Amino acid sequence: MSENTNILVVGIGGQGVMTATEILAEAAIALGHDAKKTEVAGMAQRGGVVSSHLRFGKKVLTPQITPGTADVLLGFESAETMRWQHMLKKGGITLMNSSKLVPPVVELGLFDYPEDPIGEIKKGGSKVVAFDATSIAQELGDIRLGNTVMLGAIADHLPFGAEVLLSCVLKRFERKGEKLVELNRRAFEAGRAAVGAAEAASV
């Protein structure tokens, strides 16, 4: 990785894209990094597209990631992940939820949903690790845990230990009781395990 780490998080409104970026930034800041982030939300509350840029390192002048410089693309939704591939640098990695959540622009007939987003990404030659974060969250009993599953997924692809990120995740739920803390711990570890298994299978 270069002096600064560039992470682009994308998805649709309601998936927790911005919250995930905030937690990643908190982890970087906790380790003494300079961190800057920016968000672009298109009708986020209605399921519109959302992208969030995060850059951290010794000194960050701007939060904006330029095309072709993202170290990691964390995709909460398949088609959105495909749409942002141009941002990834050569040798970068895409970590994506394989679940399809069709946005309103498709339902309105303004855009067609791609038939095979994962296949299209692989054609581009970048490394892609796909796993079903939505199903993992549902198995744990709450689809809202998908956000934490995705944070677990990126945990081993950061320039610091996974325990730092996990600590920042769990801190968010301390006031809401031990049950929720434990659920999010399980969701985080499930995301890590899913990526580990998907990477092992692709070797």
Q: What is the pLDDT of residue 109?
A: 62
Average pLDDT of adjacent 10-residue blocks, the chain of 203 residues: 85 89 96 90 62 95 93 93 92 92 63 76 86 96 95 96 96 92 97 93 74
Alpha carbon distances (Å) from 30 to 138, 161, 163, 169: 31, 12, 12, 13
Place of tokens 């990643």: 24
5-202: CATH number: 3.40.920.10
For 177, counting Cβ atoms within 10 Å of its Cβ (0-12 exposed, 13-18 middle, 19+ buried), the class is: exposed
pTM of model > 0.85: yes
